[in-house]
Amino acid sequence: MSMMKRVALARRPQGEPVDEDFSIEENAMPEPGPGEVLVEVLYLSLDPYMRGRMDDAASYANPVPIGGTMEGGAVGRVITSNDPSLTEGDHVFGMFGWASHGVQPANMLRKLDASVPLSTALGVLGMPGFTGWHGLMEYGRPKAGETLVVAAATGPVGSMVGQLAKAAGLRVIGIAGGPDKCAMACETFGFDACLDHRAYDDASALRAAIAAETPDGIDIYFENVGGMVLEAVLPLMNVGGRIPVCGMISWYNAGALGAGASAALPGPKLWRTILVNRLAVTGFIISDHWARYPEFLGAVAPEVVAGRIAYVEDIAEGLETAPRAFMGLLKGKNVGKQIVKIA
């Protein structure tokens, strides 16, 4: 093939992304230089953090430039290798972005284990699963008999957190959008209960429902949503509770500062609760912790292979579907880990 396709950032979104914020382009096939590898992308990961990359705002990573390829991790098959560590036909993970093909230095790629499906490198055994494992074990510090609450319960992060907590002997309450997702949290992932946040008009109503499921209070709240869920959970935290923070998807379309967040939880109320209940609130960016990724694989991959950790994937077909699938992800329309099958 002499041409490849990619999805570029056509303009910066104003609020929720729309079709016009993306463009699908055809370009000449890139050629690998010394030490580089040309890869045909098979599966592309879609993740909430990508919304932040669309804004031109200071953050922990640079924004995607206008006209640049949308950022993202992917798995693919090596077509041409100019490095002896990889050969044609090898399967690898790399940051190829929303594209049908890509070139990366061989030392920036991870060769994949053929004993598990390739797509798992994007979800349960990839960045999202690693995020859940690291955040819970390092900052949640779970103890048997405690109670944990996690929102986006059927997503790749929330489902990992919930299953690990259950295995550690905790009571696990999920929060998800819709009765089908709540059923999945309990039936597929083994949660003790799951609440549909869409069934409640405000944070007070949701808080009452959560309180009924957590009679001993909440020891760990794994924060990946923000918004009404955070407002509902925070007053229920026990003294000495822990809150690992890896994301706030409910505020992503409001821009980098999360407009509207302060109206729901004024600073004094938020900080007083943290103080009085002696809460440990720890924000973390998983890319700071890749040195622990082999430890994560060693602990979790055997559990996935044995079927003791379940996962669900929502796979869209074709690169052209990536923008709409991503917009749906930000609204919670996906069921499980959102992936795009390219080839």
For residue 262, give the CATH number of its domain: 3.40.50.720
pLDDT recorded at residue 256: 44
Instruction: State pLDDT tens for residues 82-113.
Output: 999 999 999 999 999 999 999 999 999 999 98
Same domain, 178 and 316: no
Same domain, 217 and 177: yes
How far is it, in rounded angstroms, from Cα 335 to Cα 254? 23
Q: How many domains does the chain have?
A: 2
The confidence score (pLDDT) of residue 2 equals: 87
Q: Is the pTM of this model over 0.75?
A: yes
Which residue ranges in the chain fall short of pLDDT 50? 256-263
**Does 213 share its domain with 324?**
no
Residue with tokens 């935290």: 237
Judge if 83 and 180 occupy the same domain: no
Provide the CATH number for the domain around residue 40.
3.90.180.10
Whether residue 294 lies inside any domain: the answer is no
Task: Answer whether residue 325 is part of any domain.
Answer: yes
Tell me what pLDDT residue 262 has. 43
Q: At what angle do helices 127-134 and 293-305 cross, to 10 degrees?
A: 100
pLDDT at 89: 96
Residue 49 belongs to what domain range?
Answer: 3-123+312-341
- Which pLDDT does position 250 carry in this prediction? 61
The reply to whether 115 and 131 lie within a common domain is no
Of 117, 182, 130, 191, give the one whose Cα is nearest residue 332: 182
Tokens of 245: 């923070």
- What's the pLDDT at 115? 83
